Amino acid sequence: MTVKPYKASDASKKSQVAGMFNNIAPKYDFLNHFLSLGIDKIWRKKAINLLKEINKPVILDVATGTGDLALEAHRRLQCKVVGVDISTEMLKVADEKIAKRELTEWLTVQEGDSENLPFESNTFDAVIVAFGVRNFENLNKGLTDMGRVLKPGGKMVVLEFSKPVYFPFKQFYLFYFKYILPVLGGLISSDKAAYTYLPESVLTFPDGERFDQELVKAKLKPIKRFKQTMGIATIYLAEKLKQ
């Protein structure tokens, strides 16, 4: 079953996700850091560190949102990053951050669909995405197109929420995720549906080994999974096979 943000709407998931992020863009960064107690910043650093052996990479950040992962990539690797997202309001926030840091020569963002990326095949040394793949309308199509724009041998790093498995942390986390987070997120963002959709989308997402299988279906080679904070999130490292 496809999980959508606004159950009463007949619009496609893609359209609803774009609208949802447009609605919450002004409060998105604050809520990200507040609701995760700032741990999401650590996860991003670890994700980017997986690419530190690539010399001066050109990176594509899919579902870039407000640009946090793209900025982290430049900060740690001193590289060029192109960000793409379907939410125009999120991109406005990203543009403001990039301009404020005077990084317009290094970082650019543009509107685009993750399932139909506006780039030539075999263009990027690495593709990264944080908390975006579970929002794809068609996961296989999105992963396949991300692989298409990767150079042969290029790396893909995916940071995504996952489900803890160990007692009692699992039970505590699920209670917070289902009952506390939607209330807090809804009050601050004025869009309760967005923060009800968040736990629903995470709980139905094929994480762990099942996501590795999705990577294989998209003709990518899974390399390793790194669980974060007792399984709240997972970083997946994969590569495009050399031709």
- Model pLDDT, residue 185: 82
Give the pLDDT score at 128: 98
Q: Is residue 216 part of a domain?
A: yes
Return the SS3 of 214.
helix
Q: What is the mean pLDDT of residues 186-209?
A: 89
Phi, psi for 137 (deg, rounded to 5): -70, -40
Which CATH number is 100's domain given?
Answer: 3.40.50.150
- The percent of residues above 90 in pLDDT, for the chain, comes to 75
What's the rounded Cα separation, in Å, for the pair 159 and 23?
23
State the total domains in the chain.
1
Per-residue confidence (pLDDT) for residue 34, from 0 to 100: 75
Length of the chain: 243
Q: Which residue has the tokens 């404020």?
A: 100
The per-residue pLDDT for 107 is 98
CA 130 to chain centroid, in Å, comes to 2
pLDDT digits (tens, 9 = 90+) for 228-240: 999 999 999 999 9
Mean residue pLDDT of the chain comes to 93
Average pLDDT of the segment spanning 23-37: 84
Tell me the per-residue pLDDT of 186-196, one tens digit each, with 9 for 90 and over.
888 888 888 89
- Each residue of 49-104: pLDDT tens digit? 999 999 999 999 999 999 999 999 999 999 999 999 999 999 999 999 999 999 99
Of the candidates 242, 198, 238, the one whose C-alpha atom is nearest the C-alpha of residue 221 is: 238
- The answer on pLDDT for 136 being more than 70 is yes
Whether residue 1 has pLDDT greater than 70: no
- Give residue 34's domain range: 13-163+206-240
In a domain, 18, yes or no: yes
Residue 233 belongs to some domain of the structure: yes
Report pLDDT for 49. 98
Identify the band that residue 165 occupies on the pLDDT scale cut at 50, 70 and 90.
confident
For residue 63, is it within any domain? yes
Q: Is 105 within a domain?
A: yes
Whole-model pTM: value is 0.95
Q: Residue 224: inside a domain, yes or no?
A: yes
- Residue 146 domain flag: yes
Report d(CA 46, CA 71) in Å as an integer. 14
Averaged pLDDT, 110-120 = 96
Tokens of 8: 């009463």
- Whether residue 193 is contained in a domain is answered as no
